[in-house]
Amino acid sequence: MTEIAASSRLEGDLRLDSLEFAIFGELLRTRFGDAVDLGTFLSDLDIDAVIGLTVTDVAVYVEQRGTPAQRAPQPPRSPQGES
């Protein structure tokens, strides 16, 4: 099993193929909004940049472009004293 680190390259280390990039892009768009368009981001890069794209590169892109569109619902808190 491959460990995912900030420096992991999506293609080189994690071996994402084009279909997995598309799925990843959709997941990012769903989570962070339409401003996060991984396909467009990738199309603006040259082939060497795509091959070397890291988890950190994607995180920086998302941070610059997106805002959380959906947040995971928080479980209700139980009143104190109840378990």
pLDDT at 69: 53
Beta-ladder partners of 54: 9
Q: Could you state, in order of their start, the residue ranges of all structural domains in the chain?
A: 18-65
Per residue of the chain (83 residues), what is the pLDDT tens digit? 678 999 999 999 999 999 999 999 999 999 998 999 999 999 999 999 999 999 999 999 999 987 665 444 556 666 665 55
Residue 18 CB coordination number (10 Å): 9
pLDDT at 81: 55
pLDDT at 82: 55
Amino acid letter at 49?
A: A
Amino acid letter at 73?
A: P
- Distances from the Cα of 43 to the Cαs of 38, 64, 68, in angstroms? 8, 17, 23
Residues in the chain: 83
